Structure 1
Amino acid sequence: MSDISLSNGGGRGGSADWHAAGQSQGPSQGPSHSYPLLVRDHGLGTALKLLLETLPYALARWGVLLGFAAACVVWAIVAVGGAVWLGTHVASVFGYCWLLGILLLGGWIWGAILRYTLHMIACGHVAVLTELITHGRIGNGSEGQFAYGRRIVMDRFGEVAVLFGFNALIRAVLRAFHNALDTLGDWLPAPGMKAIVGLLNTILSAATRYLDKVVLSYDLTRGGDDPRRNIQDGLVYYCQNAKPILAKSVWMVIVERILSILLCLLLLVPAGVVTVWLPEAVREYGAMVTVFIAALLAVTVRAAFIQPLFLICMMIRFHALIENQPINSTWVGYLDGLTDKFRQIGR
């Protein structure tokens, strides 16, 4: 941590020095958490074992995604077919209006209903994973995974629902924090390498998309009735341990992209088989249809199995890093001055 500092002018707190904050560690509070931690290995092997142990949640997520993917295909056929028919038999402007309206409505359904459904499933999954990471068992050992996950989500429904709404605030805090870092300057000292800073910023943005679920895991382990404080503390802990977390998450994003490309290539074969079964009018566009089906299947498999795998890695890494670590109140003040989004979470 000591070799990363905040750049000048990085927000209202841009003049603060991360290097000094990391070195002084003060003023500090005592450890603001007290819970066991049985799993500390954040490698892919351990994550894969936990994913297989909680496979019902991955399969449930995949089932939902496949259902929505099938609906998406039907929706696209209705949109394009309706637009062609209206453009041919009525007027082209009606065809364009139909296509735009259907696609916008479909985008809203995809972005709202599907996102919230997956959020609820993911929260149940995180609850089960948190129990396995901290206690090695689910509840008292007599509950099934779905029963436990549903009970935790319903008992703390307010926190789960609030976290869904807090996603935008959490990402805004992270964006402000990342913009204030000299991380890329430290990692890329060669002048000619600065050209890829924009690409690496994109990677960093993607790498931290798991953090809202990691913060939920931290909130579940903390318990209590102040989830807003727990979310703030989770963000502070992330800032205190940003370098090892980002180093881990960047590699995760790279491996995830490689696996996603390989997955898409592998799925071209079953997608070709599906294309053969489709009506002759559709088979005329065989190559395009095959690639579309393969990409659609790859997206569902990636979201259901690959992304949860890296979420587990991030959860374990986070819990292991903050074990018995006091919160540095300097960071609380820094984030409070860096962006008003951090204060909004507290309110």
Structure 2
Amino acid sequence: MVLHFGKATGIFVKTMPFVLLRMGIGILLGIAAILYFGIVIGFGLWLLDAGTISGGIGAIGLLLAIVIFIGAWRLISRYVLYLVKAGHIAVIAHIVDTGEVPSNQIAFGKSKVREHFKEASALFAVDQLVKAIIKQFNRRVVSFSNLFAFSSGIRNIIRIIGRAIAIAASYIDEAIIAYMFTTTEENPWRAARDGVVLYGKNWKPVLGSTLLIVLALYAATFVMLLAMTPIASVLGSLSTVFEVVGWVVVFGIVLTIYAGFLNPWVKTVVITTFLIEAQDDTPDSATMERIADRSDKFNELMGKAETEEKEPATAPAR
């Protein structure tokens, strides 16, 4: 397996305008999360101390606050971070494909997204379908439980790897989107289909490097949490409220670093690996049929590609 970490890191540095933009958004979201949970938890503890609510009601209120936060996070991710992420993907793909760095990356990324996807909803629809295909393909092709069924002592490791594969799918679908930015195919569904086929031909190096980096991401996140626990400990010596606030700050900082720095770097590595490994390959019918046998979602994608091609030809003349 060939790793392209060095080249990908160089590209990551070259796309620093997008990285800083995402970091800025991540910081704002991190501050918003700290303020939100700080107010919610602080208010809840105040009510508990005053005897206004019981511990059970407080727990239910906290759970409801978490659900609301997750819903708001997903909404912001879909309509704000998603377009920024797509623009960043377009720039990464351009650098890998041509070796040239756009002078105005933000404007370039925005124009490429508009060029390939008329609406943000179209980009989101393609990405969601591709993500579902990759998940199905990975589950069918890679079965660690079968490989290590003889040893019960490593079942927990198998579960971790299985979870890592699921997380890897969220990065690999972005590599497919990156491929779509490098092709001249005007039909986005057909371009996505071809990208999936190329992944089917090169899944071993792409998935292998992605798994390595996702597992490293687990470790890095854990180390960051350990490194920042003294903040919560120091504040905990003052009062319970300050300790809770300290933990909120710690998680907010970790979330900011992850969303603004680590996540874009991982994405760059996966995209670079995929585009390099697939650059000399072309989609073929044999691989297409093999993936179709493993994924009903891929059959749906092929159907959309054919429908998109037929619609202009069957449109009534004016």
| TM-score normalized with structure 2 length | 0.80
Question: Of 250, 256, 260, which aligns to 2:217?
Answer: 256
- 1:218 equivalenced with 2:179 (yes/no): yes
Q: Which residue of 2 aligns with 1:333?
A: 289
Give the partner amino acid of 2:165. L
Q: Which residue of 2 aligns with 1:133?
A: 96
C-alpha displacement at 1:228, in angstroms? 0.7
C-alpha displacement at 1:100, in angstroms? 5.4
Per-residue CA shift, 1:12-65, capped at 9, x if unaligned? xxxxxxxxxxxxxxxxxxxxxxxxxxxxx8533322222221112111112112
Q: In 2, distance between residues paired with 1:182 and 1:65?
A: 33
Partners of 1:210 and 1:311 within 8 A in 2: yes
Question: Of 167, 175, 190, which aligns to 1:206?
Answer: 167
- 1:293 equivalenced with 2:293 (yes/no): no
C-alpha displacement at 1:222, in angstroms? 0.4
Give the partner amino acid of 2:92. L
Q: Please, which runs of 5 or more residues in structure 2 have no aligned partner?
A: 305-318
Provide the secondary structure at the position in 1 that maps to 2:185. Answer: coil
- 1:305 equivalenced with 2:261 (yes/no): yes
User: Cα distance 1:252–1:99, how it changes in 2: closer, same or farther (>3 A)?
Assistant: closer
User: Cα distance 1:127–1:182, how it changes in 2: closer, same or farther (>3 A)?
Assistant: closer
Q: Which residue of 1 aligns with 2:135?
A: 175
Partners of 1:207 and 1:253 within 8 A in 2: yes
Provide the secondary structure at the position in 2 that maps to 1:158. Answer: coil
Question: Of 116, 134, 152, which aligns to 2:79?
Answer: 116
- 1:145 equivalenced with 2:105 (yes/no): yes
- 1:107 equivalenced with 2:67 (yes/no): no
- 1:233 equivalenced with 2:194 (yes/no): yes
Partners of 1:214 and 1:314 within 8 A in 2: yes
Q: In 1, distance between residues paired with 2:52 and 2:245?
A: 28
Which stretch has the larger CA shift, 99-108 or 321-330? Answer: 99-108
Percentage of pairs with the same residue: 22
Q: Please, which runs of 5 or more residues in structure 1 have no aligned partner?
A: 2-40
Give the partner amino acid of 2:7. T
C-alpha displacement at 1:260, in angstroms? 2.2
User: Cα distance 1:311–1:94, how it changes in 2: closer, same or farther (>3 A)?
Assistant: closer
Provide the secondary structure at the position in 2 that maps to 1:150. Answer: helix
User: Cα distance 1:166–1:178, how it changes in 2: closer, same or farther (>3 A)?
Assistant: same
Q: Which residue of 1 aligns with 2:308?
A: none
Which stretch has the larger CA shift, 165-174 or 310-319? Answer: 165-174
Which stretch has the larger CA shift, 161-170 or 252-261? Answer: 161-170
C-alpha displacement at 1:224, in angstroms? 2.9
User: Cα distance 1:246–1:188, how it changes in 2: closer, same or farther (>3 A)?
Assistant: farther
C-alpha displacement at 1:123, in angstroms? 1.0
Q: Which residue of 2 aligns with 1:244?
A: 205
Partners of 2:26 and 2:256 within 8 A in 1: yes
Q: In 1, distance between residues paired with 2:75 and 2:169?
A: 21
C-alpha displacement at 1:298, in angstroms? 1.4
Q: In 2, distance between residues paired with 1:319 and 1:308?
A: 16
Partners of 2:94 and 2:100 within 8 A in 1: yes
C-alpha displacement at 1:329, in angstroms? 1.0
User: Cα distance 1:153–1:61, how it changes in 2: closer, same or farther (>3 A)?
Assistant: same
Give the partner amino acid of 2:129. L
CA RMSD in angstroms, aligned pairs only: 3.3
C-alpha displacement at 1:151, in angstroms? 2.0
Q: Which residue of 2 aligns with 1:71?
A: 32
How many pairs were matched up?
A: 300
Per-residue CA shift, 1:167-210, capped at 9, x if unaligned? 44223222322332355268648545662433321121122221
C-alpha displacement at 1:310, in angstroms? 2.0
Partners of 1:236 and 1:327 within 8 A in 2: yes
Q: In 2, distance between residues paired with 1:101 and 1:193?
A: 38
Partners of 1:138 and 1:148 within 8 A in 2: no
Bigger relative CO (Cα 8 Å, ≥ 6 apart):
1
Q: In 1, distance between residues paired with 2:63 and 2:100?
A: 50
| TM-score normalized with structure 1 length | 0.74
Q: Which residue of 2 aligns with 1:165?
A: 125
Which stretch has the larger CA shift, 150-159 or 253-262? Answer: 150-159
More helix by share: 2
Partners of 1:215 and 1:231 within 8 A in 2: yes
Give the partner amino acid of 1:221. T
Q: Which residue of 2 aligns with 1:32?
A: none
User: Cα distance 1:77–1:257, how it changes in 2: closer, same or farther (>3 A)?
Assistant: closer
C-alpha displacement at 1:115, in angstroms? 4.0
